[in-house]
Chain A
Amino acid sequence: MINLAWRDIRHAWSKFLFTGAGLGLLIGATMTMAGVYRGMVDDAKVLLDNSGSDLWVVQQGTLGPYAEPSSLYDDTWRSIRTVPGVERAANATYLTMQVRKGNADVRAMVVGTSTVSYGDPGQPGYLVAGRQITRGHYEAVADMATRFSLGDSIQIRRKQYTVVGLTRRMVSSSGDPMVFIPLKDAQEAQFLKDNDAILQQRRRTALNPAFNPPGQPKLLDAVISSQSTNPYVNAVLVQLKPGQNHGKVADEIKRWKHLQVYTRAEMEQILIGKLIATSARQIGMFMVILMVVSAAIVAFIIYTLTMGKIREIAVLKLIGTRNKTIVAMILQQALGLGLIGFIAGKLVATLWAPIFPKYVLLEPGDALRGLLAVIVICSLSSVIAIRAALKVDPAEAIGG
């Protein structure tokens, strides 16, 4: 028996190929959407993995440090280090901002990291080039995605830093590359005012009789110096000794210090469940829209192709073709179109993923689910055409 669907596709291959390619762009966009979501989840996990910590200690009542602002005194880590089970504890600050190099700037997450001892949580783990930060000031380790290179001089706020090391895939949960700088510098960067503002503040403080009472000149100096330092950090990252029950140690710190403590699993829940949830819903909505559009296109094309063959279908029925054969022809054409679209879509998604400004993670499992969705959508979309074909009366072939 001849496969009618295949013969029709072969005969009108250019029509099928172009339609399939158009459909493929839509499918490719849908796959990329899924890839962007997977990339965001992966970025979040990488962010947590790369921090090298087991517990995140943040300000009470906050979801910090990534999802909400959080501030702790920068000496909190010392007391946390004494909690049983804790191996290391280190301060960390996070601030997403523009980092300048010459006239250009790059959006980056500036991470203030402990330089107390090598291997503290929060430090950039693995370097692809260069070395770790060794001085307490003005050195930076940047992610390759910033396109900075070793020896570059970059500007964060008003200070210049030299890039001494490079990392790979160190990104924030929104995909911005990280730039690591010493903690003290980062605290200053978070807090630093410009010179005019400092002068202004000094003047206002001096005019306030409460801070500048007559006969106590040292009080004004003390107030001003306290105003121009930043004793806060965003989080304390805690590494536990091997074999510890993370939840137990977390409870211990919570009870003892009145701080919020998150385990790795809770942190992941916050990042994926809260921080990227809105983006995920947007992506989901986009995917639904793209799928509906794809379905409409397949339905329209298959319907048009079928209506163009109504006479032939009437003749086929008249000469004794089973309905089954006609249904199979239409269904196979819809699936063929879907398959061409899927292959084209996979191809374009793979081609444009690397140049996408966000990390796009194309998972084979998603491709498989995509293929299943294409099959289901194409089958459903051909229903209208199939109904039209089944309604054709073989008597129509004979005419009036």
Chain B
Amino acid sequence: MAENTGIRITDLRKQYGSGESVVEALKGVDLQVVPGEVVGLIGPSGSGKSTLLKCLGAVIEPTSGQMALRSELIYDGSWLVSDLRALRRDKIGFVFQAPYLIPFLDVIDNIALVPMLAGVSNTESRNRAMELLEALDVGHRAKAFPSQLSGGEQQRVSIARALVNRPPVVLADEPTAPLDSERALSVIRMLNQMAVQYQAAVIVVTHDEKIIPTFKRIYRIRDGRTVEEAGEGRLC
């Protein structure tokens, strides 16, 4: 396998609609995240953060530009990957604002489901899930249902779900929004720890003032373009 270079996005553009009503959501985004790194993506409402995440998450198609994951070019004016569903399943982990766990599966199976979808055996899937749950300090809740967990515990389970297939890329959309500042910081700490451990490139979209100082590097997006900034990198 080629050298893992994490995420590399070059001159990515995305237009919604056409003709009169065209919206240029992304107007040439350049962005790079190396494995093991967590970067913040911040910007005012309507600046294109979710659009960027959706393009990178292979759920909407960009208009032009290039995207590479782990030095494999996946988009270059058009998709270079035929099975986007498998791409999402194997290469990308998602963490959402709300945990969106499957309510009728217990915690361990919420996570184990993901490798199972990729054809991994039930036992192996549950072993991997348990390993992650313990690393994220929720191993003792493995047999509970999501509704029986606290908000912070649920979010940790959803991080475990994002990481269980060892994806080279993790995309997090406002993952700390519903959490208080201590829990928010602990979630970010865990994302950092996991990024290092699994050599994942992590992008965290956030408005959250509490966690902005934790990033070493920040991409500020304004008007569809990204500007790279140095962050404070204070992860206490």
Interface set of A (CB-CB < 8 Å, partner B) = 1-2, 4, 7-8, 10-12, 311-312, 315-322, 325, 393-395, 397-400
Cross-chain pairs A/B with CB under 8 angstroms, 12 sampled? A2-B109, A2-B112, A11-B145, A312-B100, A312-B103, A316-B102, A318-B59, A318-B94, A320-B114, A394-B59, A398-B94, A398-B173
CB neighbours of A394 from chain B (8 A):
59, 88
B34 at the A interface (CB under 8 A): no
Q: In this complex, what residue of B is CB-closest to A8?
A: B104
B168 at the A interface (CB under 8 A): no
A1-B122, A395-B54, A395-B59 in contact; A320/B88 too (CB < 8 A)?
Answer: yes
Query: Judging by beta carbons under 8 Å apart, are B105 and A7 in contact?
Result: yes
B97 at the A interface (CB under 8 A): yes
B149 at the A interface (CB under 8 A): no
Query: Judging by beta carbons under 8 Å apart, are B117 and A319 in contact?
Result: yes
Q: In this complex, what residue of B is CB-closest to A9?
A: B104
Separation in Å of the B96 CB from the closest CB of chain A?
A: 6
Interface set of B (CB-CB < 8 Å, partner A) = 50, 53-54, 57, 59-60, 85-86, 88-90, 94, 96-97, 100, 102-105, 109, 112-114, 116-118, 122, 145, 161, 173
Query: Judging by beta carbons under 8 Å apart, are A398 and B86 in contact?
Result: no
Query: Judging by beta carbons under 8 Å apart, are A321 and B117 in contact?
Result: yes
- Give Cα A317 to B113, complex, Å: 12
User: CB < 8 Å: which of B89, B100, B117 contacts A397?
Assistant: B100
Q: In this complex, what residue of A is CB-closest to B100?
A: A315
Query: Judging by beta carbons under 8 Å apart, are B53 and A398 in contact?
Result: yes
Separation in Å of the B25 CB from the closest CB of chain A?
A: 11
- Give Cα A8 to B102, complex, Å: 9
Query: Judging by beta carbons under 8 Å apart, are A320 and B90 in contact?
Result: yes
CB neighbours of B88 from chain A (8 A):
318-320, 394
**Dominant SS at the A interface?**
helix
Query: Judging by beta carbons under 8 Å apart, are A1 and B59 in contact?
Result: no
CB neighbours of B117 from chain A (8 A):
1, 319-322, 325
CB neighbours of B173 from chain A (8 A):
398-399
- Give Cα A312 to B147, complex, Å: 14
Separation in Å of the A356 CB from the closest CB of chain B?
A: 40
Separation in Å of the B232 CB from the closest CB of chain A?
A: 27
Q: In this complex, what residue of A is CB-closest to B118?
A: A320
Separation in Å of the A327 CB from the closest CB of chain B?
A: 15
Separation in Å of the B123 CB from the closest CB of chain A?
A: 12
A11-B104, A311-B100 in contact; A397/B116 too (CB < 8 A)?
Answer: no
Query: Judging by beta carbons under 8 Å apart, are A2 and B113 in contact?
Result: yes
CB neighbours of B113 from chain A (8 A):
2
Q: Which of A312, A317, A319: most chain B Cβ within 10 A?
A: A319
- Give Cα A219 to B59, complex, Å: 108
CB neighbours of B109 from chain A (8 A):
2, 7
Query: Judging by beta carbons under 8 Å apart, are A398 and B104 in contact?
Result: no
Query: Judging by beta carbons under 8 Å apart, are A320 and B103 in contact?
Result: no
Query: Judging by beta carbons under 8 Å apart, are B100 and A320 in contact?
Result: no
Separation in Å of the B174 CB from the closest CB of chain A?
A: 8
Query: Judging by beta carbons under 8 Å apart, are B116 and A2 in contact?
Result: yes
Q: In this complex, what residue of B is CB-closest to A321?
A: B117
Query: Judging by beta carbons under 8 Å apart, are B97 and A399 in contact?
Result: yes
A319-B117, A320-B88 in contact; A398/B105 too (CB < 8 A)?
Answer: no
